[in-house]
C-alpha cells in the first residue's frame, strides 16, 4: 500500500476555516494483522447489513484507536485495558457507529467492559478473549489508510502537518519527518529476544503487541499528534508513547539523540503552584480556571488555599519539602520518613490493579523507584486511600497533605491534571518555544517533562532548558542528561543475559 507522506520539498496544504471546525483524524493507522485478516474474511463471507453503506475502514479505525490508546503513558503495564471511545468523533465519521461496534462484539474481536452511567462513566472496550490467543501467535501489524472515512464533519489529515494542533505546536511537530527513524530490524530482534523485563520473567504477549505497534508506527512514519486542553494538555506523539527500551534505536538524520529531564518534575511544579498562589501569579490563575469551575476556584478554593498557606504549621512543612525538591533529593529524604523494609533482598509495595480490582504485591528493585511510587500515590490517589505510606507521609507533613487534598476534594484526578497542565504550559508553550525561536535549525522533541535534540545541539539544550524553566517559574531546576543510545534498559538487559543465561532460555510463549 502506498504511503502518503510529504517529502522535505513539499508543503502541507493549509486548512480552510470550515475544515478547522471539523474533527480531524490521521490518515495512516496501524492494526494487528490477525485482527485485520479476521475482519476482512468475515466481511467477505458474511457481509454485515448496516443502515448505511458499509465502510470496512471504520472497523480498522475502532481497532486501531483501542490499541493506540492502550499504548498511552497511563497504561505503563501495557495490558489489555478497557478504552473509552470518543462518541463525538465516531458519530462524526458514521452516524450508525454503534452498529460497527456491536458487530465487532458479536464477532468476538472486542468486548464491552463497562456499562455507561450518565455523568459517571463511559462504555469501554478491549480485545476479547477469543482474539487474544491469535495475537499471541502473531504480534505483527499492518498500516491502513483512513481516507474513506472523510465526511462533512470529519477531515482525514494526510500528514501530521494537517493535524488540528500543528500550527500551535509547529516548533516541535515539524521534526516529525523523514529524518526521524528507528532501527527497525534491531528493535524487532530486541523484542523477539526479550523475555526478562523490569525484574520479572513472565508472558510478554500483550506487551509485545504494544511494542510492535510502537516500532511500526515510527518505521512507517504514521505520525500523529494530539493535545487536549480539557484533560492533561500534554502533547502526545509516537515518541511520548514509546517505551524507553526502544530509545537506543531512534536517530534523527543519522544522529543520536540526547535528552534532558526535569528531575522530580511533579513535586517541582507543586512548589511552583504553591509559590504562585502566594504571589497571585496570573499564569496559575488561568490554569486553575481551566481545571476547576470559575465560581468554585474564585469563591472557595483560593480563599481556603490562601488561608491554609498562611498557617505556621504549613510553612514549616513546606520549607522542608521545598528544600528536598529543589535540591533534587526528595526521594532520598523520603526514605527516612517511610522507613521501608527489605525482604529477600528486595523492596515490595502494594499496587492497585484497576482491571482485576484487587491490590497486588509488586517487587521494586531500588529505593528510588519505591519512593517515587509513594510520591505518585500521594499526588494521584484519592483522599480516602488506605495506603500505609500515604498515611505515614501525612503524619509527617499533615499541613502539606491537607493542602494537596484541597485540590482533590471534588475529584482526585483534578490535581494530577492541574500539575500536568502546568508542566505542559511551561515546557511546551514557554521553554521549547523560546529555544526554537533562538535556534530554529535545532531539532527538538518533547516527552512531557523532558526535551531532546541531536548530539550536535545537546550543549545548547543543556544550557537553555534550565534557564527558561527558571524564567517561567522563578525556581532553579535540576536537569538530568539522558543519552538515548546508552539507555540503561538496554545495558541492563545485556548484563543480565551474561550473568543469568538460563533465564533467557524462556521465550514467554
Among the ranges 24-33, 47-56, 331-340, 428-437, which has the highest mean pLDDT value? 428-437
**The predicted structure's pLDDT at residue 358:** 56
User: Which has more confidence, 1 or 456?
Assistant: 456
Cα 464-470-474 angle, rounded to 5 deg: 165
The percentage of the chain sitting over the pLDDT mark of 70, rounded to a whole number, equals: 81
141 membership: H or E segment, kind and range: strand 141-145
- Does 269 map to a domain? no
Helical axes 282-291 vs 413-424, angle rounded to 10°: 140
**Same domain (yes/no): 26, 152:** yes
User: Residue 355: is its pLDDT beyond 60?
Assistant: no
Residue 485 and residue 249 in contact, taking contact as beta carbons nearer than 8 Å: no
**Same domain (yes/no): 67, 139:** yes
User: Residue 384: is its pLDDT beyond 90?
Assistant: no
* Domain edge (last residue) among 158, 193, 210: 158
Cα dihedral sign, 491-493-494-498: positive
**Same domain (yes/no): 46, 154:** yes
**Same domain (yes/no): 298, 250:** no
- Does 380 map to a domain? yes
**Same domain (yes/no): 388, 469:** no
Q: How far is CA 380 from CA 217, 414, 420, 448, in A?
A: 30, 9, 11, 17
Per this entry, what is the length of the chain? 509
**The predicted structure's pLDDT at residue 7:** 39
**Same domain (yes/no): 131, 211:** no
- Domain range enclosing 394: 293-409
Residue 430 and residue 438 in contact, taking contact as beta carbons nearer than 8 Å: no
User: Which has more confidence, 201 or 367?
Assistant: 367
Average pLDDT over residues 231-253: 91
Average pLDDT over residues 331-336: 84
**Same domain (yes/no): 139, 219:** no
Average pLDDT over residues 312-331: 89
Residue 358 and residue 322 in contact, taking contact as beta carbons nearer than 8 Å: no
* Domain edge (last residue) among 97, 131, 158: 158
Give me the chain's average pLDDT, please: 83
- Does 270 map to a domain? no
* Domain edge (last residue) among 123, 158, 193: 158
**Same domain (yes/no): 196, 240:** yes
Give the residue among 128, 201, 164 at the shortest CA–CA distance from 497: 201
The percentage of the chain sitting over the pLDDT mark of 90, rounded to a whole number, equals: 44
User: Residue 377: is its pLDDT beyond 70?
Assistant: yes
**Same domain (yes/no): 198, 246:** yes
In CATH, what number is assigned to the domain containing residue 486?
3.30.70.370
pLDDT tens track for 390-444: 888 899 899 999 999 988 888 888 899 999 999 999 999 999 999 999 999 999 9
Rg (CA), the chain: 24
- Range from 76-85, 353-362, 375-384, 471-480 carrying the lowest mean pLDDT: 353-362
23 membership: H or E segment, kind and range: strand 23-26
Q: How far is CA 185 from CA 5, 40, 91, 177, in A?
A: 22, 28, 39, 20
Residue 451 and residue 171: Cα distance in Å, rounded? 12
Give the residue among 191, 179, 258, 232 at the shortest CA–CA distance from 419: 232
User: Residue 498: is its pLDDT beyond 70?
Assistant: no
Q: How far is CA 260 from CA 310, 342, 406, 461, 477, in A?
A: 35, 32, 32, 8, 11
408: three-class secondary structure by DSSP: coil
- Does 280 map to a domain? no
**Same domain (yes/no): 193, 322:** no
pTM to 2 decimals? Answer: 0.82
Average pLDDT over residues 339-353: 69
Beta 23-26 vs 154-157: how paired, if at all?
A: parallel
350 membership: H or E segment, kind and range: strand 347-353
**Same domain (yes/no): 325, 369:** yes
Within 10 angstroms of residue 315's Cβ, the number of other Cβ atoms is 13
Average pLDDT over residues 262-278: 93
Burial of 465 (0-12, 13-18, 19+ CB in 10 A): buried
User: Residue 91: is its pLDDT beyond 50?
Assistant: yes
**Same domain (yes/no): 442, 404:** no
Cα 390-396-401 angle, rounded to 5 deg: 55
**The predicted structure's pLDDT at residue 483:** 92
Residue 287 and residue 425 in contact, taking contact as beta carbons nearer than 8 Å: yes
Residue 443 and residue 436: Cα distance in Å, rounded? 8
Residue 269 and residue 235: Cα distance in Å, rounded? 17
User: Which has more confidence, 485 or 75?
Assistant: 485
**The predicted structure's pLDDT at residue 449:** 94
- In sequence order, the 6+-apart residues with CB closer than 8 A to the CB of 449 are 261, 262, 265, 423, 427
Q: What share of the chain is helix, strand, coil (3-state, %, to 5)?
A: 50, 15, 35
User: How many domains does the structure of the chain reveal?
Assistant: 3
Residue 396 and residue 48: Cα distance in Å, rounded? 62
In this prediction, residue 296 has a pLDDT band, given cuts at 50, 70 and 90, of low
Average pLDDT over residues 462-473: 97
DSSP state of 427: I
pLDDT tens track for 147-196: 999 988 999 988 899 888 999 999 999 999 999 999 999 888 887 776 55
Among the ranges 240-244, 300-304, 355-359, 471-475, which has the highest mean pLDDT value? 471-475
Q: What torsion do the CA atoms of 381, 114, 56, 68 make, to the nearest 10 degrees?
A: 10
Strand partners, 28: 145
98: three-class secondary structure by DSSP: helix
**The predicted structure's pLDDT at residue 9:** 39
Amino acid at each position: 500500500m502506498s504511503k502518503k507522506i510529504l517529502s522535505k520539498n513539499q508543503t502541507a496544504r493549509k486548512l480552510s476555516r470550515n475544515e478547522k471546525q471539523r474533527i480531524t483524524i490521521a490518515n495512516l493507522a496501524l492494526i494487528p494483522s490477525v485482527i485485520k485478516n479476521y475482519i476482512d474474511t468475515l466481511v467477505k463471507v458474511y457481509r454485515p447489513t448496516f443502515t448505511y453503506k458499509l465502510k470496512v475502514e471504520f472497523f480498522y479505525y475502532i481497532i486501531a484507536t483501542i490499541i493506540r490508546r492502550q499504548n498511552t503513558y497511563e497504561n505503563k503495564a501495557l495490558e489489555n485495558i478497557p478504552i473509552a471511545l470518543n462518541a463525538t468523533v465516531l458519530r462524526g465519521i458514521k452516524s450508525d457507529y454503534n452498529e460497527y461496534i456491536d458487530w465487532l462484539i458479536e464477532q468476538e474481536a472486542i468486548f464491552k467492559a463497562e456499562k455507561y452511567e450518565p455523568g459517571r462513566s463511559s462504555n469501554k472496550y478491549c480485545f476479547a478473549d477469543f482474539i487474544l490467543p491469535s495475537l499471541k501467535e502473531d504480534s505483527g501489524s499492518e498500516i491502513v489508510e483512513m481516507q474513506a472515512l472523510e465526511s462533512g464533519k470529519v477531515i482525514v489529515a494526510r500528514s501530521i502537518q494537517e493535524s488540528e494542533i500543528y500550527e500551535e505546536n509547529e516548533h516541535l511537530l515539524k521534526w516529525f519527518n523523514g529524518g526521524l527513524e528507528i532501527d527497525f530490524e534491531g528493535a524487532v530482534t530486541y523484542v523477539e529476544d526479550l523475555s526478562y523485563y523490569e525484574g520479572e520473567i513472565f508472558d510478554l504477549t500483550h506487551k509485545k503487541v504494544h511494542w510492535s505497534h510502537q516500532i511500526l508506527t515510527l518505521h512507517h512514519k504514521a505520525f500523529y499528534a494530539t493535545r487536549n486542553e480539557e484533560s492533561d494538555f500534554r502533547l502526545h506523539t509516537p515518541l511520548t508513547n514509546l517505551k524507553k527500551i526502544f530509545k537506543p534505536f531512534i536517530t534523527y538524520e543519522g544522529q543520536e539523540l540526547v535528552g534532558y529531564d526535569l528531575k522530580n518534575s511533579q513535586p517541582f511544579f507543586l512548589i511552583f503552584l504553591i509559590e504562585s498562589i502566594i504571589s497571585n501569579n496570573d499564569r496559575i490563575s488561568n490554569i486553575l480556571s481551566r481545571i476547576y469551575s470559575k465560581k468554585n476556584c474564585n469563591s472557595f478554593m483560593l480563599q481556603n488555599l490562601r488561608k491554609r498557606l498562611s498557617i505556621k504549621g504549613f510553612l514549616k512543612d513546606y520549607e522542608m519539602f521545598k528544600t528536598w525538591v529543589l535540591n533534587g533529593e526528595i526521594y532520598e529524604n523520603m526514605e527516612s520518613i517511610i522507613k521501608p523494609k527489605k525482604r529477600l533482598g528486595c523492596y515490595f509495595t502494594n499496587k492497585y490493579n484497576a482491571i482485576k480490582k484487587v491490590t497486588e504485591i509488586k517487587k521494586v528493585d531500588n529505593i528510588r523507584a519505591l519512593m517515587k511510587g509513594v510520591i505518585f500515590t500521594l499526588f494521584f490517589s484519592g483522599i480516602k486511600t488506605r495506603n500505609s505510606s500515604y498515611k505515614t507521609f501525612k503524619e509527617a507533613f499533615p499541613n502539606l497533605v491537607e493542602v494537596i487534598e484541597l485540590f482533590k476534594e471534588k475529584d482526585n484526578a483534578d490535581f494530577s491534571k492541574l500539575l500536568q497542565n502546568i508542566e505542559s504550559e511551561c515546557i511546551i508553550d514557554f521553554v521549547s518555544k523560546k529555544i526554537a525561536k533562538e535556534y530554529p535549525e535545532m531539532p527538538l522533541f518533547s516527552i512531557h517533562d523532558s526535551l531532546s535534540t541531536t548530539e550536535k545541539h545537546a550543549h545548547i539544550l543543556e544550557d537553555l532548558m534550565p534557564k527558561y524553566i527558571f524564567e517561567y517559574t522563578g525556581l532553579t531546576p535540576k536537569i538530568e542528561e539522558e543519552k538515548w543510545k546508552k539507555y540503561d534498559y538496554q545495558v541492563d538487559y545485556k548484563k543480565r543475559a551474561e550473568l543469568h543465561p538460563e533465564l533467557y532460555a524462556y521465550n514467554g510463549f
